[in-house]
A and B are shown apart, each in its own frame.
Chain A
Amino acid sequence: MSAHNESILREPLITGENITYSKITNDVLVPVENKPNKAWWIGFGIAVAFALTWVVTISYTFWVGLGTWGLNKTVGWAWDITGFVWWVGIGHAGTLISAVLLLFRQNWRNSINRSAEAMTIFAVICAATYIFAHMGRPWLAYWVFPLPNQFGSLWVNFNSPLVWDVFAISTYFSVSLVFWYTGLLPDIATIRDRATGARRRIYSILSFGWAGSVKNWQRFEAVSLILAGVSTPLVLSVHTIVSFDFATSLEPGWHTTIFPPYFVAGAIFSGFAMVQTLLLIARKVMKWENYITMFHIESMNKVIIVTGSIVGVAYLTELFIAWYSGVEYEQYAFLNRISGPYWWAYWSMMTCNVISPQLFWFKKIRTSIWASWVLSIVVNIGMWFERFVIIVTSLHRDFIPSSWVMFYPTVVDVLLFVGSIGVFFTLFLLFLRVLPGIAMAEVKLILKSSSDQAKQKLIREGKVDPEQAEFYKNSLEKYDSVSKTEYANI
């Protein structure tokens, strides 16, 4: 995008020496062009095992009925919708990174958007499985679409948030898929150009005849921008609509106007955590430290602090409003969350989502790979609990005390959720094997301006203020991919 020299004050987005376009290609395509290594096989083996568990449990559920789950007459949704909202939420980081950050010209997104978008798509797939699975008669799932009456089904209820959900999720999935695939075209063409035989033919088809001409690039940029514009509202709308499932109902604890912003913040929060979880490992295993640098990690951690704090404020606001409303059902619902039989779920949520991300205020922690990874997992757990708390603790004790019950998950509930994680990782690991996990073309775009070697060159050429150069050098302290001795020479 920008061919001019970037300010030396900005931290580099690509580190390492002698990074050339071809080196980027070689580095990124290592997993695609080579036989997978042991680490991949182990990971894939585990993921597939869990995915098969999912296949077995979902088949069992379809065969026998939803009675295999722990639901009951009062708690009609539990792990199913918890899982659904959790997965949809995770997807949000991908869209935010690829669309919103593109519009805001945050170049650091270029290294992570591809994997994040893939994550979005796989997460939405996992979420969609829950939509099917939670239905009593999943073979009639197509009835929720507004198909013409001639087709045999009837018109749908546009008052129902579940119908809005159907539109939100399907739009989200299709736009994300198109955006992701459009971004992939130049990279697929690169693979095609380097491949032979059948692979070449396959990638050739997949590349849609990308020739790398100026016209191609021009249109590519235009489409990316348009799709970013289309996707940006989705970042806000999808989880807003998911939150409507709850907000428009009259269950105490669900019937809350704060839900849309609170859900969106929570979604981005959990999504970034998931991106961290995935990329911290990927960068290590794939040796992508030069492209996904400490700057990226730290930036994502900063997003996590912000969104985590928003979520925290939302939790407190909910409590305040419940008390302030003077509605006894509302008050009881929140009192019950805090101190009822599921208090441990509430406090797990509070600890994981509100307290633990605050640790990122410490630079040491937010630039530590291990701490970031552990906290990203903690956040993911916390966000699962958030949905569980909202869904189960609201339902299990609502208006009529005679119907108050406890919810206990069955083995099927648990295996289905664990299995869905297996499905997700299976898809993600397959993705890493066949498509570039980093958007090569987009990284190449910033090589000349935002890479460490470009900046070193500027310093070496004495084109920058030495004071600023010193500042720049100091900022590299946290990088684990920059050798400090090198800078002694300059």
Chain B
Amino acid sequence: MESNKKYWKGLDELQRTPEFAEKNKNEFAEELPLEEVLSESGLNTVTPRRDFLKTLGFGLGAVSLAACQTAPVHKSIPYLIKPEEVTPGVPNYYVSSYNGQSILVKTREGRPIKVEGNGTGLFGNHGTDATAQASVLDLYDVSKLKSPKLNGAETSWKELDAFVKGELNKVQASGKKIRIVSSTVTSPSAKSVIAEFISQYPNTTHVQADAVSYSGIIQANGSSFGKAVLPRYRFDRADVIVSFGADFLGTWIAGEEFTKQYVSNRNAQSLKKGKMSRHIQFEAGMSMTGTNADSRIAVKPSEMGLAVLALYNAVTGSQTGGAQIGNNTAADKAVKLAAKELQNARGRALVVAGSNDVAIQTVVNAINAALGSYGATIDLDNPFYTYSGNDASFNAFVDEMGRGEVGAVFFLNTNPAYTYFNSKAFSDALAKVPLKVSFADREDETASLCNVIATNANYLESWGDENAFEGYYTLIQPAINPVFSTRQAEQSLLIWSDNAQKNYYQYVKAYWEKNLLPAAGKTWKQLLQEGFVYTGEKPATAYTFGGNVAAASQAIATQSKALAKDIEVQLYESVAIRDGRHANNAFLQELPDPVSKVTWDNYAAVAPKFAEEQGIEEFDLIEIKGANGYTVVLPVLLQPGQAKGTISIAVGYGRTKTGKAGNGVGKNAYPFASVVNGTVQFLTTATISKTGGKMELAQTQTHHSYEGRTVIREASFKNYLKDPHTGNDKHQGEHKTYDLWPEHKQIGHSWVMAIDLNACTGCGSCVVACNVENNIPVVGKDEVRRRREMHWIRIDRYYSFNEGGKSVTEEKEIEKLDNFDDVSVVHQPMLCQHCDHAPCETVCPVIATMHSSDGLNHMAYNRCVGTRYCANNCPYKVRRFNWFNYWNDSRFDNYLNNEFSQLLLNPDVTTRSRGVMEKCTMCIQRIQGGRLQAKLEKRPLKDGEIQMACQQACTAGAIIFGDFNDPNSEVRKALGDERTYYVLQELNVQPGIGYQTKVRNTVEA
């Protein structure tokens, strides 16, 4: 009901006086003092004393309260006086040299954090091997000594020098011998230092011996051609390569250099020209080189020499030695075929053998001579100097010590107490030497027997030089001041020999300026920038084979008979740990073996069928008793392709005094070795017995066949020549992609990658390079066993078996095979594919992973809550989860959980916390860096300017990264190749990484 009642607020309203009407026409009856406030007077009112005090009091109180909060203390100390060349955030690169290869050391704010190959170098190329990549971690090794030691106690250099000099003079006076024992020294400056030391103490001799020796080749060349050198093999000039147990892509002489050469005849460019080398490998254990061979034939060590002889006979038509290679009919057939192929490729053929037996190497020389390889694929005039150790001289040295003739011994880069097969004889003899000096950087097996440890500096803290092959000299220049109280061995020798020049830097500089730089026409400054000089190739001279094949064949027959027992044992160097010197390097321990994918252990590799016959299973602990009575208990690994009746064991493990990471990893296999025909041979016979125990090896891959899936695509070279698309045609025709949504236009860049399966040898240097670049945690044996390794890039290795001309790839069918000998291997680097339709991106509840406009799959660690849904939904299984805080957990001491080794961390890459997902970022820090550089220089990015860490480390050039939107980019061309396919492209996830089919140069007999 509507009411007509009116209420009024006062008499004014009722009477509606004019004043009232005037006042109430506005919203507020009384006028607001706005004008007054805004006018000059309002703003300029003088603050009364009380107000002033009030405000002052509040202000003071508030400020003091606010000040009570502890502000974070930042420990960053700015440069007080900034070095001219250091700009925080900008890396500096210094040339240096590692194992004869010229490298670039990347430093950030004074810390070396990464090693790259020096692209202009002549030994190796832009790539490096895994050990070079990992070598920076050795600088930050916590297990190193922090100061020199004298008789077990830390001491100063002054006292140490006084002691050593006194002792040396006493020895000199007594007439006893002084010995400098080292692994091969290639450094001309160091050799000069040693020579001057010898002139000061004339009783001195320099004994060089390598843990893994090449004496056999050197001696054989001495007797065959009168040139006792390690020749420079040229795999790039060889169309047919036959290798008898030489792991030339991995550990044999110069794996990186040979990889570069070898791949040049097998990569995309070569295939485009319709050319591919043929590689036949005879070996007992499956080596990395064997996995790359076109034909691989398993032969026992006892058959190896016979096979070489058989090849000699087949090539030359002579009838030396026995006609049969044991009972190995497959080898017989293969040798005959190989001989035919070698003869067809005269002058473009190369036969190599990994054996250290003079006799075998002599016959190999004879074959190569018959094939006209000298001067073509083998260069005796420009030899390698990387290994010149002499087994006999070391044996003689041990005898001298045993007789008490040696008064002083210096150990440089050598650890015979561990690597010498008869280490007891060595240590007993060593005990008779009064002055024992080790230049080790840690108290290793030999150093702990010495009374003086004159701690050597890391190569990144040192001056020096190397001479990998004739005429090629590389410079070692320090990238950091010595971290601990260490001194270079050369400098110590200079001081102890009272050399006029006691500063090794000055010494090296003077040596180069006198001997090497004038010939090359370069200055020291240029050298510091370029890193090497090359004085040119020596002209080839003709060689005629003068070796005694008949005597060699006798020796081979005797040796073969001695080895032909039920079980033959072959020792080998593993690709990562090598002779044991890298045992304390966590990156290398966690690098899966290229073949077995085992980390953190050595093992007894046996053939699956042989294991079945012996009643042993995988991971059974077996006791292996060598011919010399040495026994060792190792877990069994079933290795397809392993010759039946043989066991392969890696040396370099079972270190007891290498440091936190490497102590007690695996078992020492060196004692199985013995001296035969004057050289150390890594062969023995053995008996085995089961211990009943089991030990699971930490493998990063436990399923070994690719189940006939299109993940791997292969073709034979013959078919490839007919149709380059072959092997890539499982899905007929061009693969179409479909999209429910309008396509994202990728303006600007589109970062993609191409990986050539035919170039990849599986060496794993990309894995280590990625680890170092991206601060990837090392998780240790137990965690790898739980399948939690953190590697962003892995190399998948698949076996397939050939039966009746058919490739068998499925597990269920493989189980039915009678014969696991004829095995083919393919390596596939696998990393985040940066899919355009990334399945990980849609499922993340918090958008922690998303796509960038330039085609990358980003991962925002800070946003990740760790549901792991993305990893489950990733068809490539490349995502890695941080199960623990790897940098704050004492179980992971080996790398991240240590203030010192944390100095290795790349400051451009965040470390990840526990509970966060991570994966390949496509080295986004490098992409950003490259883009910024181009922007600063106001130019577009150049193709190839930005390189991924994995790509950069890859000597084989199997990985190409670039911009797909650039029509002239390398990667665009590579992806246009007929061999290109995308893994799991049928899922329509549209991966950004294309693979090129594996081509095998198989020949049907």
What is A's interface to B at a CB cutoff of 8 Å? 64-67, 70-74, 76-77, 134-138, 140-141, 143-144, 154-157, 159-163, 166, 245, 248-251, 328-329, 332, 395, 397-406
Q: Are B869 and A76 neighbours in the complex by a CB distance under 8 Å?
A: yes
Residues of chain A with a CB closer than 8 A to B845's CB = 144, 156-157, 160, 162-163, 166
Which residue among B702, B796, B866, B989 has the maximum number of chain A CB atoms within 10 Å of its CB?
B866
Given A136-B866, A402-B794, 12 extra CB contacts under 8 A:
A72-B786, A77-B868, A135-B866, A136-B865, A141-B865, A143-B846, A143-B863, A156-B845, A157-B844, A251-B873, A398-B875, A401-B706
Please provide the chain B residues from 951 to 1004 with a CB less than 8 Å away from any CB of chain A in the complex: 983-984, 987, 989
Asked whether, in the complex, the Cβ of A65 is within 8 Å of the Cβ of B914, the reply is yes
Does B751 belong to the interface (CB within 8 Å)?
A: no
**Complex Cα gap A250–B843 (Å):** 11
Contact B877 A400 (CB under 8 A): yes
Cβ-defined contact, A72 with B788, below 8 A: yes
**Interface pair A250/B987, CB less than 8 Å apart:** yes
Nearest chain A residue, comparing its CB with the CB of B986: A327
CB distance from A347 to the nearest CB of B (A): 19
Report whether A398 and B705 are in contact in the complex, using a CB–CB cutoff of 8 Å: no
Interface segment, B273-281, B282-290, B880-888? B880-888
The size class of the interface chain B forms with chain A is 35 or more
Neighbouring B residues of A73 by C-beta, 8 Å = 787-789, 871, 877, 879-881
B984's contact among A138, A248, A395, A399, by CB below 8 Å, is which? A399
Taking a contact as CB atoms under 8 Å apart, the answer to whether B916 and A137 are in contact is yes
In the assembled complex, 13 residue pairs joining A and B whose CB atoms fall closer than 8 Å, in A order, are A65-B914, A66-B914, A67-B884, A71-B868, A73-B788, A77-B872, A143-B863, A154-B863, A160-B869, A162-B869, A400-B796, A400-B830, A402-B794
CB distance from A161 to the nearest CB of B (A): 7
Q: Is the CB of B846 within 8 A of A144?
A: yes
Give the nearest-CB partner of A166 in chain B.
B845
Known: A65-B883, A66-B881, A137-B866. A399 touches B844 (CB 8 A): no
CB-CB < 8 A to B794: which residues of A? 402
Complex CA–CA separation, A332 to B796 (angstroms):
20
Q: Which residue of B lies closest to A161 (CB)?
A: B843
Q: In the bound complex, how far is the Cα of B916 from the Cα of A143, in angstroms?
A: 14
Partner of B882, one of A136, A248, A395: A136
**What is the minimal beta-carbon distance from A158 to any residue of chain B, in angstroms?**
9
Contact of B867 among A64, A136, A328, A397 (CB under 8 A): A136
Chain A residues whose CB sits within 8 angstroms of the CB of B839 once the complex forms: 249-250
8 Å CB interface, B362-379 against A? none
The answer to whether residues A160 and B868 also contact, given A137-B916, A250-B875, A332-B707 and a CB cut-off of 8 A, is no
Report A80 CB to chain B, min CB distance, Å.
9
Q: A73-B789, A76-B872 known; A402 and B796 CB under 8 Å?
A: yes
Asked whether B703 is an interface residue with its Cβ less than 8 Å from the other chain, the reply is: yes
Is B334 an interface residue when CB atoms closer than 8 A count as contact? no
In the assembled complex, which residues on chain A have CB atoms less than 8 Å from the CB atom of B495?
none
In the assembled complex, which residues on chain A have CB atoms less than 8 Å from the CB atom of B989? 250
Among candidates B705, B789, B872, B880, residue contacting A249 with C-beta atoms closer than 8 Å: B872
Q: Majority SS of interface residues in chain A?
A: loop
* Residues of chain A lying within 8 A (CB to CB) of residue B863: 143, 154
> Smallest distance from the beta carbon of A326 to chain B beta carbons, Å?
12
Identify which of A143, A245, A404 contacts B865 (C-beta below 8 A).
Answer: A143
Task: List the interface of chain B (C-beta within 8 A of A).
Answer: 701-703, 705-709, 711, 783, 786-789, 794, 796-798, 828, 830, 839, 842-847, 863-869, 871-873, 875-877, 879-885, 913-917, 983-984, 987, 989
A32 to B541 Cα, complex, angstroms: 107
Whether the pair B705, A136 counts as a contact (CB closer than 8 A) is no
Asked if B709 contacts A328 (CB within 8 A), the reply is yes
User: Are B883 and A67 in touch, CB under 8 angstroms?
Assistant: yes
Question: With the chains together, A245 CA to B845 CA distance in Å?
Answer: 11
Look across to chain B and name the residue whose beta carbon is closest to the beta carbon of A407. B787
Nearest CB of chain A from residue B859's CB, rounded to whole Å: 13
Contact partner of A65 (CB less than 8 A), chosen from B798, B828, B864, B884, is B884
Query: Do the beta carbons of A137 and B865 come within 8 Å of each other?
Result: yes
Q: B262 to nearest A CB, angstroms?
A: 24
Question: In whole Å, how far is A164's beta carbon from the nearest beta carbon of chain B?
Answer: 9
Which residues from chain B contact A71 at a C-beta distance below 8 Å? 868, 881, 883
Known: A136-B868, A250-B987, A401-B707. A65 touches B846 (CB 8 A): no
A400, B847: Cβ atoms closer than 8 Å: no
Chain A residue at smallest Cβ distance from B989: A250
The answer to whether B847 and A155 have CB atoms under 8 Å apart is yes
Distance, CA A247 to CA B845, complexed state (A): 16
- In the complex, chain B residues whose CB is within 8 Å of the CB of A77: 868-869, 872
Select which of B830, B847, B987 is within 8 A of A402 by beta carbon: B830
Find the B residue at minimum CB distance from A144: B845
Q: Tell whether, in the assembled complex, residue B843 and residue A162 are in contact, meaning their CB atoms are under 8 Å apart.
A: yes
Residues of A within 8 A of B880 (CB): 73
Name the residue on A nearest B785 (C-beta).
A72
- Chain B residues near A400 (CB-CB < 8 A): 711, 796, 830, 875-877, 983-984
Contact A160 B875 (CB under 8 A): no
- Inter-chain contact A144/B865, CB cutoff 8 Å: yes
Chain B contacts for A137, CB-based, 8 A: 864-866, 913-916
User: In this complex, what residue of A is CB-closest to B794?
Assistant: A402
State the Cβ distance, B789 to closest chain A Cβ, in Å. 7
B851 to chain A, nearest CB (A): 12
A475 to chain B, nearest CB (A): 52
B846-A156 in contact (CB<8A)? yes
User: For residue B869, which residues in chain A have a CB less than 8 angstroms away from its CB?
Assistant: 76-77, 160, 162, 245, 249
Given A154-B847, A405-B787, check contact A399 B872 (CB 8 Å). no
How close is B960's CB to chain A, nearest CB, in angstroms? 22
A65 to B844, CA, bound (A): 20
Name the residue in A143, A162, A395, A400 with the highest tally of chain B Cβ atoms < 10 Å from its Cβ.
A400
* Complex: A306 Cα to B916 Cα, angstroms: 43
How far does the alpha carbon of A64 sit from the alpha carbon of B876 in the complex, in Å? 28
CB distance from A426 to the nearest CB of B (A): 28
List chain A residues, Cβ under 8 A from B843: 159-162, 248-249
Cα of A138 to Cα of B866 in the assembled complex, Å: 8
Q: Which of A141, A156, A245, A404 has the most CB of B within 10 A?
A: A404
A406 to B701, CA, bound (A): 11
Among candidates A66, A72, A328, A401, residue contacting B866 with C-beta atoms closer than 8 Å: A66
A405 with B876: CB separation less than 8 A = no
Q: How far is the CA of A403 from the CA of B703 in the complex (A)?
A: 7
A67 contact set on B, CB distance < 8 A: 783, 788, 883-884
Q: How far is the CA of A251 from the CA of B915 in the complex (A)?
A: 23
Which B residues lie within 8 Å of A154 (CB)?
846-847, 863
**Which residues of chain B come closer than 8 Å to A251, judged between CB atoms?**
872-873, 875
Q: How far is the CB of B742 from chain A (nearest CB, A)?
A: 16
Residue among A65, A134, A399, A401 with the highest chain B CB neighbour number at 10 A = A401
- Determine whether the beta carbon of B703 is less than 8 Å from that of A404: yes
In the assembled complex, which residues on chain A have CB atoms less than 8 Å from the CB atom of B881? 66, 71, 73, 76, 136
User: Nearest chain B CB to A104's CB is how many angstroms away?
Assistant: 36
Separation of A15 and B864 alpha carbons in the complex (Å): 58
Please name all residues of chain B whose beta carbon is closer than 8 Å to the beta carbon of A163 when the two chains form the complex: 845
CB distance from B890 to the nearest CB of A (A): 12
**A76: chain B residues within 8 A (beta carbon):** 868-869, 871-872, 881
**Which residues of B sit under 8 angstroms from A166, Cβ to Cβ?**
845
Chain A contacts for B983, CB-based, 8 A: 400
